[in-house]
Structure 1
C-alpha cells in the first residue's frame, strides 16, 4: 500500500506539472477547452487511483460493503429483539398455564426473514457483477503485453538495446547512473563537487550519488520547483535524496540540468519525450536514453537504461 500511495503521489505531481504547462500555453480562445481537458485528466486519474486502491485491498465496492454491513446489523438486532420478546412471553405463560403457545406446534409455519432475504439478493448481485467483470477482463487486451510489443518495435526502429535495472524505487536514478558511466560523464557534476559518501559503503552506490545530486539541484533552484510541490521543499528534497521515493518529471528536469544532458525517454506507446538542459544546443548536449514502462514491472512505472547498437 505504501508503494501504491507513493506511485499515486508521483502521478499527481506529474499531472500537475503537465496541467501547468498546458495552461501556460493556452490563449484566451483556447482557455476554456484547456480547462475542461485538464479537469478531465484530473477526474480520470482520480478514478484510476480509486480503482487501483480497491484492487489492492480486494474491495467489492465501499457502498456495497456498507449496505451489506447495515443489513447484517439490522438482521442481528431484529433477531435479538425477537428472542427477548419470545423469552418474556414464555415466562409469563408458564406462570398461568402449562399449555405451550399455539404457534409452537409442529404444523406452524415460520415467517420469512426479510433482512436475510435482502442480504442474499445483494450477495447474488455482487457475485453476478464480479463474474461479468472477470469475463470482460478476459476479453480485454493485456496492457503489459501490448506495451512490451510496442517497446520492442521501437527499440528495433531506433537501433536501441535495453539494459534492465532493478525495480526497487531507485530505477530512474539507477538507469541515469548507468547512462552517465556509459558516456563518461561522471556521477558527480562539477557544480556539486562536495557530493561524496558519508562513510557508509552503501552511500557510494551510483544511484545514491545521482539521487543526492538531484536533491541538491532542486534545493538550489527552489523557485523553479516549489510551485509544483504539494509539501514543504525541505521534506521533498529529503525524500528525493535519502529515501526510495520514485522519481518523475520534476526529477528528470533536475537531472538534465545538473548533468548538462539531453534525456530522451521512450514511452510504452512508442513516443519519445525530450528533457534538455537549458542554454545548450542539441549538438552540444550528450543524449542519454531511458525506457519508461507504465505496466511492465511490479505496480507499474519503471525506467530502464537504453544503449545504441
Structure 2
C-alpha cells in the first residue's frame, strides 16, 4: 500500500512539474519580441531542450521506481487513473475549459514542431552556405579552420592558440578585464542595455568586467580591442558574409586571425582559430603562419 502511495505521489509531482514547466515556457515566450527572429529561434531550441530534459528525468524516475518495486508493473494505468480522478473532481464548466486548453496546447505544440522543422532546414542551408564561403576565403589565404571548444571561452582560446608564448585563458581574461577597467573612457560609451538602450553606468561597466574574469562570459569586438592593445598585435576576424574586420591596425606585427561563425557551430555564434593548410593540399607547401 505504501508503495502505491509513493507511486501516486511521484506521478502527481510529475504532473505538477509539467504544468510548472509550461508556465515557465509561457513566460519565456512572452519575454521574446515576435520580430526578433534570432531570439525566437533560440527560444524554440531552449523550449525543446527543457521539455526533453524533463521528459527524460521523469522517464528515469519511473524506470527506477519499477526496479525498486517490481510488484507495481503498470505505471501507465496508474497515471490514467490519476488523470481520470482529476477530471472527475472538476465541474463540467472547468472540464470543458480544460479540454479546450489541451486542444490549444496540442495545436500550438504541433505548430511549433513544424516551425522547428522549417528552422532546421533553413539552418542547414545557412550552415552550408557559410561553410562554402569561409572555405573559399581561407583557401585564398592558404589557411584552414581550427575548431575551438564550444565552452564560451572560444574567443580567448582562439587567441591563445595562435600566440607563440604560453598563456592561459584565465590570464587572457584577467588582462582583458584589467585593461578595460583602466581605460574605461575608451570602452564605456560602447556599452548599453540591450533591452532598454540605456547607457551603462560605471558601476555596471565594472560589473561587466568582473564577469569577464569570474564567469564564462562570451567575448566580442570590445574584448578583442582590449586584447589587441595588450598584445600590441592586430587581430583579423574573418566572416562569411561581411568583409574581414581588422582590430588594432595601428600595430605592425603579423595579425592573429580568428574566424567568426554564425551557423556552422551547433551552439550558435562562435569563434574558431586557423592553421596553415596541410602541405600538398593545393599543390605546394603551406606557408609558415606564426
- Does residue 217 (structure 1) correspond to residue 179 (structure 2)? The answer is yes
- Does residue 133 (structure 1) correspond to residue 87 (structure 2)? The answer is no
> Hey, what's the Cα distance between the residues in 1 that align with 2:113 and 2:169?
45
Q: 2:104 aligns with which of 122, 128, 142?
A: 122
Q: How much is the aligned-residue C-alpha RMSD, in angstroms?
A: 3.4
Question: Which has the greater radius of gyration?
Answer: 1
> Hey, what's the Cα distance between the residues in 1 that align with 2:160 and 2:120?
39
> Hey, what's the Cα distance between the residues in 2 that align with 1:217 and 1:51?
35
Gaps of at least 5 residues in structure 1 are 1-42, 60-75, 83-110, 188-204
Matched with 2:215 is: 243
TM, length-normalised to structure 2: 0.57
Q: 1:145 aligns with which of 122, 128, 132?
A: 128
Count of aligned pairs? 199
Q: Quick check: 1:151–1:270 contact (8 Å CA) kept in 2?
A: no
Q: Quick check: 2:153–2:216 contact (8 Å CA) kept in 1?
A: yes
Superposition pairs of residues 181-220 of structure 1, within 5 angstroms: 181=164, 186=165, 206-220=168-182
TM, length-normalised to structure 1: 0.54
Q: Quick check: 1:263–1:276 contact (8 Å CA) kept in 2?
A: yes
Gaps of at least 5 residues in structure 2 are 1-32, 50-85, 192-199, 277-286
1:182-209 CA distance string (max 9 Å, x none): xxxx46xxxxxxxxxxxxxxxxx52222
C-alpha displacement at 1:148, in angstroms? 1.9
Secondary structure in 1 matching 2:234: strand
- Change in CA separation of 1:119 and 1:172 when aligned onto 2, cut-off 3 Å: closer
- Change in CA separation of 1:212 and 1:166 when aligned onto 2, cut-off 3 Å: same
Superposition pairs of residues 1-309 of structure 1, within 5 angstroms: 46-58=36-48, 80-81=90-91, 115=97, 118-119=100-101, 121-123=103-105, 125-126=107-108, 129-130=111-112, 132-133=114-115, 136-137=118-119, 140=122, 142=124, 143-181=126-164, 186=165, 206-229=168-191, 230=200, 232-269=204-241, 271-277=243-249, 280=250, 284-308=252-276, 309=287
* Higher RCO, Cα 8 Å, sep 6+: 1
- Change in CA separation of 1:118 and 1:149 when aligned onto 2, cut-off 3 Å: same
1:143-201 CA distance string (max 9 Å, x none): 333322222222112211232222222111111122221xxxx46xxxxxxxxxxxxxx
1:181-239 CA distance string (max 9 Å, x none): 1xxxx46xxxxxxxxxxxxxxxxx52222222211210110111122334623222222
Matched with 1:104 is: none
Q: Quick check: 2:260–2:272 contact (8 Å CA) kept in 1?
A: yes
Secondary structure in 2 matching 1:169: coil
